[in-house]
Structure 1
Amino acid sequence: MHNTVKNLLDIENNTKIYLNKLNINNNPKIIAVSKTFKIDKILPLIEYGHIDYGENKVQEAVEKWTDIKEINSKVKLHMIGKLQTNKVKFAVQIFDYIHSVDSEKLAKKIADEQNKINKKIKIFLQVNIGDEDQKSGVSKKDVYRLASYCKKIDLDLIGLMCIPPADINPESYFEEMNKLNKTLDLTELSMGMSSDFLVAAKCFSTYVRVGSSIFGKRL
C-alpha cells in the first residue's frame, strides 16, 4: 500500500476512534490538499478511489487536473485558496467547490461565469472568525448579508469555511463557526487542517482540509 493511502486511512481511522470515544456522531470528508504536489504523488490516492482534493491556485489546478477529471468524473476539486475575480472564469470550469467566497463582487462573478457554462458550483463563505486584519474572509457581522445575497443570485451556498488564528487553541472558534452555520441553516462546514482536524471534527466540521499529514512536508 502506498504511503499516501496509508496516511489517509490512518486519518480516517483516528478520527473515527476519537469521535466514538466522545460519543459524537460525525463523519467528516477529507479533502486531500494536493497543492504544490506533482500528480505522480497524488495518483495512488486517485487509484485507491479517494474523491476530494484541494488546490489553492487556479493555474496549477488547471494544469494538473484537466486530463484527470476528463478520465475520472468522480474526482471533486475544491478551491481552498483566495480567489481573484480575474481567475473566476477558469476556476468555475475546473472546480466543483469553492471554499473562499468572501465578497458580493466575487459571488456575482461566480454566478455570471457558471451560468455561461450551465454549471452549479457548491459554495462556502470564508469567515474571518478571528477578526484578523491580515486574513481574508467576510466579518462575522457581515456574513448574514453575504449569505442572503448569494441565495438571491441563486448560488448553491452549502456552508461556511474558516482558518482560525494560528498558535491558539482553535476549539472556541470552531464552536462559534458551528453555531453561525446553524443560524444560517447551512449543512456543510469546512474547518480543520493537519494540525487541528480532530478538534474541527469534534465541532462538527463536515469537510477537513488535510495536506501534509497525507502527502508529507511541502518542499
Structure 2
Amino acid sequence: MTQNHSIAQALTEIRNQMATACHNAHRQADEVQLVAVSKFHPQEAVREALKAGQRIFGENRVQEAAAKFPALREEWPDLRLHLIGSLQTNKAVEACALADVIESLDRPSLSTALEKAAQKTGRLPELFVQVNIGDEPQKSGISPLEADRFIEDALSRFGSHVKGLMAIPPLHADPRPFFQKLARLNRRHGLPALSMGMSADFDVAIAEGATIIRVGTAIFGDRPASP
C-alpha cells in the first residue's frame, strides 16, 4: 500500500467512524468537523490529504505552518488552517496573518497580543479558549477555576470571533467526565463550537457534544521526530 493511498484510506475510515459516532449520539454527521493534525509531517502528506478531500488542518507551530501552507492555499483556496499548539505572544502577528482559527487562547497576555496583532494586520482568526480541563501543571490552558472570568474577558475583547472552547483531557484517565465538564462550561457561555477529542477518544467526544475533533496519527501515521 502506498503512503498516498494509506492517507486517503485512513481519511475514509475516520469519516466513517465519525458518521457512526454521530449516528449513535443522534446527531447529524455534518455537525462535526475533522481537523487533520499535520504537525511534523511533510507538505506532501498534506497535499495527499487535500487530494482526498480533506480541507481543515491543524499545526502546532507558526513557523512550520508558514513553511507548508501558503503554497498549498494557492492550489486549494478553500483550505483552512487551525493553530492548535501553545502560541507565543511574539508570534501573534504571524498567526493572525496565517491562520483561520487559533485554538489556543489561554492567557491574558496572549489576548492583548492578539488584539494588537489584529489591529496591525487587519485580520483576526476565529478563536477558541483552551482550558486545562484536568488542571495538569505540564499542560497549557486556562485553569478551570479562572475559565469563566477569562472567557468573559475574551468575549468582551473579541466578540463573535470567540467560537468555543478547546481542551485535551488527562492522558490515562476516562475522558468522558472531562468532556462533559468542558461542554457544560461551553453552554454556560452560549458558545457554538467545541473542540475536543483526538484519535483515541473522538467517539466519546462526539457523544458529549464535540463539533470539532483533531486527528493526526490515525490519518498520517506515526509522527516523525520533532525537527
| Distance in 2 of aligned mates of 1:106 and 1:210 | 25
Partner SS, residue 2 of structure 1? helix
- Deviation per CA, 1:53-104: give whole Å up to 9, x if none: 0000111000111211234221110000000101111111111101111111
| Distance in 2 of aligned mates of 1:136 and 1:154 | 21
Q: How many residues align?
A: 219
Tell me the residue number matched to 1:8: 11
Tell me the residue number matched to 1:198: 203
1:109 Cα offset (Å) = 0.8
Does residue 177 (structure 1) correspond to residue 177 (structure 2)? The answer is no
Matching residue within 20, 25, 32 for 2:23 = 20
- Deviation per CA, 1:163-215: give whole Å up to 9, x if none: 10011110010011111100010000010111111111111101100000001
| Partners of 1:108 and 1:153 within 8 A in 2 | no
Tell me the residue number matched to 1:207: 212
| Distance in 1 of aligned mates of 2:163 and 2:201 | 22
Structural RMSD (CA): 1.5
| Distance in 1 of aligned mates of 2:165 and 2:93 | 22
Partner SS, residue 45 of structure 1? helix
| Distance in 1 of aligned mates of 2:212 and 2:25 | 19
**Taking every aligned residue pair, what percent have the same amino acid on both sides?**
35
| Partners of 1:19 and 1:25 within 8 A in 2 | yes
Amino acid at match of 2:114: I
| Distance in 1 of aligned mates of 2:129 and 2:91 | 18
Tell me the residue number matched to 1:152: 156
Tell me the residue number matched to 1:87: 91
Amino acid at match of 1:96: D
The TM-score with structure 2 as length reference comes to 0.91
Structure 2 unmatched ranges of 5 or more: none
Partner SS, residue 189 of structure 1? strand
| Partners of 2:36 and 2:57 within 8 A in 1 | yes
| Distance in 2 of aligned mates of 1:97 and 1:18 | 25
Q: Write out the 4+ residue segments of structure 1 that deviate beyond 4 Å after TM superposition.
A: none
- Deviation per CA, 1:122-161: give whole Å up to 9, x if none: 0000001111111111111211211121122225100000
| Distance in 2 of aligned mates of 1:189 and 1:206 | 5
Amino acid at match of 2:16: N
